[in-house]
Amino acid sequence: MGPIPDKLCVLHKCDNPPCNNQEHWFLGTRRDNAKDRDNKGRTTKGTGIIQAVLSEEEVREVRSMLAQGLPQQVIADVFGVAQGTVWRIKESKSWGWLV
């Protein structure tokens, strides 16, 4: 493959970790790498994230409470999370994939 230009990563087409076939490699930015990961469904999300405080059921309850018009801070207090967590759920900035 040769030298790797600054700010580029080596990405892998076949996603087989032990594979060292250089024909399966291609260059991309960190953003390309993240998109490749997401497109291949290898993104950890929801309760798979160690820092996750809420369960999927609780997130659905948060959304239900938002739909009922309850204030975000009240909902946050009920679940013991920051108001920003409730806002991110409301705006689909987190848990957006969960319907």
Please report the pLDDT score of residue 51 as a whole number.
Answer: 67
Q: Which residue, 35, 40, 44, is CA-closest to 15?
A: 40
Please report the pLDDT score of residue 69 as a whole number.
Answer: 97
Q: Give percent of the chain above pLDDT 90.
A: 44
3-class DSSP state for residue 21? coil
Answer whether residue 98 shows pLDDT above 80.
yes
pLDDT, tens digit, 9 for 90 and up, residues 30-78: 999 888 887 877 766 666 666 678 998 999 999 999 999 999 999 999 9
Burial (CB < 10 A; 0-12, 13-18, 19+), residue 8, is: middle
Domain boundaries, the chain: 9-39, 46-90
